Structure 1
Amino acid sequence: MDLNVTEVDHSSVAQTAAVTVILSLASLLGIPGNILVIWIITFNMQKQKSPTVVLILNLAIADVLVLISLPLWIYSFVHGWPFGQVFCKLLTFIIHCNMYVSVFLITVMSAERFVAVTYPFTSQRWRKVTVVRVVVLCVWILALLFAIPVLMYKELDNDENGQPQCMYGTFSSETQEILCTMMQFIVAFVIPFSMMSVFYMCIGKKLKGMVFKRHNRTGMVIGMVVVVFFMCWMPYHAVNLVSVIALMTKTNKAISDMLYDIYDYGILVAGALVFLNSCANPVIYAFAARNIRNSFQVSAFGKLFDQMTYAESWKKSKDASTEKKSFTLEELNSLQNI
């Protein structure tokens, strides 16, 4: 009996240590990294910002809003949550907003790449600053709306040591828990990544048929952002699905208890990986910028974002047909590879 208690204690300590390390790493890398991205795009861009760069700016803003809360979460894992239920609901709401904002923005970025590569001239009719602002506003509004359910079921709960923790939800019924979890899984994962998969399959098919090929830096950066987002968020959604299956198999106590154990051990680490995603994007931009000058320099970030912006020469043309006739083959290929 004492041996089992010791094993549980050791497991809990190891779990807390792993979560603390992940959150500390995300905080140390993510906060200055995203602030640097915001500062460069806002004040150091040499050209008018492209739709992709505007979307990257909003993605960095969403990540900063989440990362600045990390010191509070790190403290709560060790000492419990002393900040009250209202603050617990508020911070959890912000984190869920970030989840929806991030996946919606990345989906829009993928759609923008698809249109730019597949229909490079037609896309200019809507690739304008006013249109991008409307799209970004819609993304934030939708994220706020989809995150509202967390305000209804998020409650403080005591852990095995009797300390209050802001980690779990208290649902009014099993049906509500299943519906909320499945809505989050479908809206924030299944639909967006299905759309991204279709977009990138079409982009790959289009690029294979091109005669002149150039390095597609923008597509590479967005592709890496998509992959990292998938890797960081997939464990979280998978663990939540385990809890849903556990609820649906409660008639078989052995299977249900086993699934609940998997959920209890996995949710903390999976949740910590979610925060790690918020610090990953600046690292991706840094590697992409390093390829420009073979060494890391802050100015290389600005150069990277400048390269993501269309050249002014063809943007000033009056209509797409005139543009199409006046470009050389190399320029047309460059346009399609942006």
Structure 2
Amino acid sequence: MALSNLSNYLDEVDNYSDYTDYTYEETSSMWADPAHDPSDMARILSVVIYSVSCVLGILGNGLVIAIITLKMKKSVNAVWFLNLAVADFLFNIFLPFNIAYTAMSYHWVFGTVMCKLNSFLLILNMYTSVLLLTTISLDRYVSVVFPVWAQNHRCPSLAYLVCLGVWIVGVVMSCPSLIFRDTAQAHSSVICFSNFSLSRNASYRALALVRHRTVNITRFLAGYVLPITVITFCYVAIAFNLRRNRLAKSKKPFKIIVTIIVTFFLCWSPYHLLNLLETEPDMIPRFVFEIFIPITTALAASNSCMNPVLYVFMGQDFKKFKVTILSRLVNALSEETGHSSIVHRSFSKMSSMTEKETTVL
């Protein structure tokens, strides 16, 4: 295909990528001063966010993986944290490809296979992380609201089976990246983009639009709306239960709950909402996507380095600041901390009530 035809094809087909590849056109010519090109500034900011997330994510999640596998006996909490850390760590390992791609003004030099694999692993991380966070929320909900059932059925083997199901669902939901991701020469660069028509023929535009909307809407519902609904419900129910039964000695658990939900919203809402708007590109000026998609994608990626902080460091009420990071991680990841102690108190309280009722009868 001639270069001009390819350029027209890229303009006509909705091929906005899962991750940033929005500058295959010479967009800097739109601005009087290239040094103040908003899209270029967004690209630089994205590189910074990606880089910080990559370093912190590899160190934080790597430390969690090492501690759980080498220093701890397996518990339900440990299984959740281990799988969450593995998903985030795998994501962070492949972040350098995105950093290089973004830093090189969206010039992909790693080939078509890596274009597919990179996107697949990034979307896999999104699904597995979100589903694992949802699973953790459900586990905490069941442990607090149904402590007797949790005491009898909650075990590491069941947790491993649930995690296996999460990974299978994540792989299946990420397969569109293996199918639709492609590379093409555009101007002086090679782009890694979503070729939803599976062709270089612009006549397939209608089919590409349907596929694009299906993928994005499915991702929005399954990867955002459903999980955030379940997560919010679980933590609101936990908060009401703890307050009603007066099991929480302080307001700290409520602050942690609010922090978890707000952080999740801040990291993922812009990404999913903008990708949903992307299914109707005629409604939004093109430069909006060129500027904000890279930033919102990088912000979503940063969630992978925040999880060790939110689910480990904040999950434990540290009384002595001088305690080492290693000790803090071991204590936070152990079964006898956080909501587990609340479950124990709840179970003990219910057992005491049962004994009193039996005595009366």
- Assess same fold via TM > 0.5: yes
Q: What's the CA shift string for 1:65-124, capped at 9, x where partnerless?
A: 010112222112223211101111001101111111011111111111111111111122
Compared with structure 1, are the counterparts of its residues 4 and 212 closer, same or farther at alpha carbon in structure 2 (3 Å cutoff)? closer
What stretches of structure 1 of length at least 5 have no aligned partner? 251-255, 315-319, 330-338
Q: How big is the alpha-carbon RMSD for the aligned residues of Structure 1 and Structure 2?
A: 2.9
After superposition, residues 133-172 of structure 1 pair within 5 angstroms as 133-157=160-184, 162-166=188-192, 168-172=193-197
**Cα distance, 1:51 vs. partner?**
1.9
The counterpart of 2:155, out of the listed 109, 128, 153, is: 128
Note if 1:269 corresponds to 2:269.
no
The answer as to 2:224 corresponding to 1:189 is: yes
Residue 68 (structure 1) aligns with: 93
1:236 aligns with 2:271: yes
2:174 maps to a residue whose letter is A
* Aligned match of 1:253: none
Residue type of the alignment partner of 1:164:
V
* TM value normalised by structure 1: 0.81
Is 2:76 aligned against 1:51?
yes
1:17 counterpart letter in structure 2: I
SS at match of 2:295: helix
Distance 1:44 1:220 in 2: 29
Instruction: Name the counterpart of 1:106.
Output: 133
Per-residue CA shift, 1:284-332, capped at 9, x if unaligned? Answer: 3335557342246221111122243858xx8xxxxx8998249999xxx
* Alignment partner, residue 332 of structure 1: none
Alignment correspondent of 1:299: 327
Q: Deviations over 1:131-182 (max 9, x none)?
A: 11110100000000011112121122456x622233x312122111111100
Report the secondary structure of 1:148's partner residue. Answer: helix
- Where does residue 235 of structure 2 map in the other structure? 200
Q: Is the 8 A contact 1:243 1:259 kept in 2?
A: no
Deviation sequence 1:175-232 (CA, Å, 0-9, x none): 1111110000000011111112221222122112113433587786566444323321
Distance 1:222 1:108, change over 3 A: farther
Segment drifting more, 207-216 vs 17-26: 207-216
SS at match of 1:68: helix
Equivalence for 2:114: 87
May I ask how many residue pairs the two structures share in their alignment?
308
Contact 1:100–1:143 under 8 Å retained in 2: yes
| C-alpha distance in 1 between matches for 2:254 and 2:161 | 23
The answer on 1:33 being equivalent to 2:63 is no
Read off the aligned partner of 2:241 and give its amino acid letter.
K
1:232-288 C-alpha deviation (Å, 9 max, x unpaired): 111110111111132xxx4xxxxx3x4433222211111111221111112333355
Q: Between 138-147 and 170-179, report the one with greater CA deviation.
A: 170-179
* Partner residue in 1 for 2:249: 214
Supply the AA of the counterpart residue of 2:75: S
Q: Is the 8 A contact 1:113 1:219 kept in 2?
A: no
Task: State whether residues 137 and 235 of structure 2, in contact with CA within 8 Å, keep that contact through their aligned partners in structure 1.
Answer: yes
Q: In 1, distance between residues paired with 2:287 and 2:224?
A: 24
Aligned partners of 1:3 and 1:321: how far apart in 2?
69
- Residue 292 of structure 1 contacts residue 304 of structure 1 at CA under 8 Å; is this kept in 2? no
Structure 2: runs of 5+ lacking an equivalent: 1-27, 198-207, 357-361
Could you list the structure 1 runs, at least 4 aligned residues long, displaced by more than 6 angstroms after superposition.
Answer: 216-220, 320-323, 326-329
Instruction: Tell me if the contact between 1:53 and 1:308 (Cα under 8 Å) persists in the aligned partners.
Output: no
What corresponds to 2:304 in structure 1?
Answer: 278
Q: Following the alignment from structure 1 to structure 2, what is the Cα–Cα distance between the partners of residues 140 and 218?
A: 29
